């Protein structure tokens, strides 16, 4: 929910999802990336982009597989 709160919430579908909530869920699950959300890449949302990136770092590190 914290990720969703920082998304633009315009449900533009540019990421390929039905809306921002679905994108947030897939972002959390590692199925989507911040770059998949074009509006999030704009200057208007740059602060949110950084915030979400920091939130996802522990998740990404915890799910990495080493061989």
Neighbours of 3 (CB within 10 A): 20
Token pair, residue 38, equals 């074009």
pLDDT level of residue 65 (50, 70, 90 thresholds): very low
Is the confidence at residue 59, as pLDDT, over 70?
no
pLDDT at position 27 is 93
pLDDT at position 60 is 55
Whole-structure pTM value: 0.78
Is the confidence at residue 12, as pLDDT, over 80?
yes
pLDDT level of residue 45 (50, 70, 90 thresholds): confident
Neighbours of 20 (CB within 10 A): 24
Domains of the chain: 2-62 (1.10.15.40)
């Amino acid at each position: 929910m914290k990720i969703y709160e920082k998304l633009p919430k315009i449900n533009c579908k540019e990421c390929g999802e039905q809306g921002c909530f679905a994108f947030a869920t897939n972002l959390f699950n590692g199925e989507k990336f911040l770059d998949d959300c074009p509006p999030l890449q704009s200057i208007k949302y740059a602060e949110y982009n950084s915030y979400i990136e920091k939130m996802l770092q522990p998740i990404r590190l915890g799910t990495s597989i080493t061989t």
